[in-house]
Amino acid sequence: MIIIFINNNVLERRKRLGLTQAQLASSVNVTRRTIISMEKGKYTPSLLLALQLAKVLETDINNLFWLGGGESEKSNH
Amino acid sequence: MKKVIIEQIGNGILVGLGTCMLVFMVANSHWDVNGTSSFQFGPFGILFLAWLIVFGIIRLGLSKLDQSYHTGEGELSAGDERERKISQRALGWTYRVVFTLLIIELFGVPVMSIGFGSRLVLFRQAVVVVIGSTLIIGFLTYLVGWIYYDITE
């Protein structure tokens, strides 16, 4: 069975912009727990939330989320 | 998570007290053929009413403190899309457990009626306990499901 998952660098982008989890959560109207879960890679956000995050984190959605695999794919972004 | 814990424990207590009240009522109330009737709710009736008021106040307080909690939606209140997804999954667990229990009870209650024989009051009380227990198990299943998905997702 092929397992497809989504990688993200929300944590890196958030830290680069100096935002706290609570600030990011507040700016996209979600709970802090959702941001934590996303940063751990446990939760895959909806397209709407992903687009909102990309806007707040001042990046392109493709740089924030990408189809998962190993570290090699992540390093391409 | 706090809102779901409060809501489900409160619901469980409410149904538990309601079940005890009805068990008492079944044993102590009567409806005669000549039209006279007497209904007694007993001490559990007072506790049930008291908890209904206290729980209502707790829910109102919670809705003021937690923006993601709405009294109308109760345990299905969700703060965001992740919580909505967790609610749906926990509801799936609850649906399966409650319906499985109801199917078992559908066959179990007639068998139970044979076992109780002429002890009609005891049988009626047992049916009330079975229904009440199913509801409480349903509340607990939702709570466990919610906590499980909140931790794992």
Per residue in B28-57, pLDDT tens?
Answer: 888 787 878 888 888 999 999 999 999 999
Question: What CATH superfamily classification does A6-75 receive?
Answer: lambda repressor-like DNA-binding domains (1.10.260.40)
- Check B80 against A34: CB less than 8 A apart: yes
Mean pLDDT of A45-56: 94
What's the CA gap between B135 and B137, in Å, rounded? 5
Contact A8, A38 (CB under 8 A): yes
Q: Quote the tokens at residue B135.
A: 């509801």
With a cut of 80, say whether residue A15 has pLDDT above it: yes
- Report the percentage of chain B scoring pLDDT > 90: 65
Q: Are B153 and A29 an interchain contact pair (Cβ–Cβ within 8 Å)?
A: no
Q: Read off the pLDDT of residues A56-75 as tens digits, 9 standing for 90 and up.
A: 999 999 999 998 765 544 44
CB contacts under 8 A, A 28-57 vs B, are 29-31, 33-34, 37, 42-43, 45-46, 49
Gap between the Cα atoms of B56 and B49, Å rounded: 11
Q: What is the extent of the structural domain holding B33?
A: 2-152
Mean per-residue pLDDT pooled into runs of 10, chain B (153 residues): 92 96 90 82 93 96 89 87 94 96 93 84 92 96 95 85
- Suggest the residue from B81, B83, B148, B149 to mutate for an interface test with chain A (most A CBs closer than 10 A): B81
Counted domains in chain B: 1
